[in-house]
Chain A
């Protein structure tokens, strides 16, 4: 099981702050993961439709779409950051 975390409007559109999921072994990159997750229901499709405006962290480290999942235990999805 992989821990998934959602923040900001990604969290609001999916409707939960986080969940545990079994990710299929055929899903090996961040891009493939986002494609797979967007097929898990209408709210996921809606939240993840604009991939260019999403950022992903694997085990709390920023990664790009072509990064391998490498068995990450925690995957977070969020929009570009706007703190400060």
Chain B
């Protein structure tokens, strides 16, 4: 089946074409959300950090926010800052602009208060939405970076089958990122710093012992255009940037949470039928790439959490 996506100026491939209103700090998060809410296909994230941070914790926050701007599903970025925060909105804008995508920024203290910022933000966002509109072109599975989230509670026997499934997916999909916890199943997996952009094809593992949302957030920041979440518990976490495909490994959970779970693989999993699971998943991934909404997209679930290394001071 032909795959269609958005080919960005730097060669990256997006499977969605979002305008991201990116708050550099919690203080500008509500303002960003109010701008995003006013327009269709414009999204924002609930950034709870961005100031009073130090060292690696600050760099990790900056890298993650920058990664969201750089994600190929994002066609343009409007950064909204307060003006006195630790994460510099102009610095963020300059970094994202290196990808050649459309970037602009607004600073509340410079624009002069909420009303002006929201008014200007909506006006600017409206222009940007039109400017990033572009036709879809032929793309390939090898252009895709897939994040894999696996619930901690999934038992060993199921993990063995899932790791074979992931191996099959990685044969055709360009980049696969797995949680560090599962690196032992993949001899050729390379380490990926949390939220760092992936530039070469292959299998990567990133930060372990995180909650699902912090893990997804890091993967989206690394460039994942879509995420498969193998779930035992049915956590509904979704992302506004990259469609999350919820894949239940537990029949009972699927029965409760079918509204937000895309497919249930518990039966083929019990039969160790990894080829059936792989082909089912590839067809969902293909549909998702071609624009069919996942359930978490239909429900507009938008969760975000940065993996913090140090407390805020």
Does chain A bind chain B? no
Binding site for A on B (CB under 8 A): none
Binding site for B on A (CB under 8 A): none
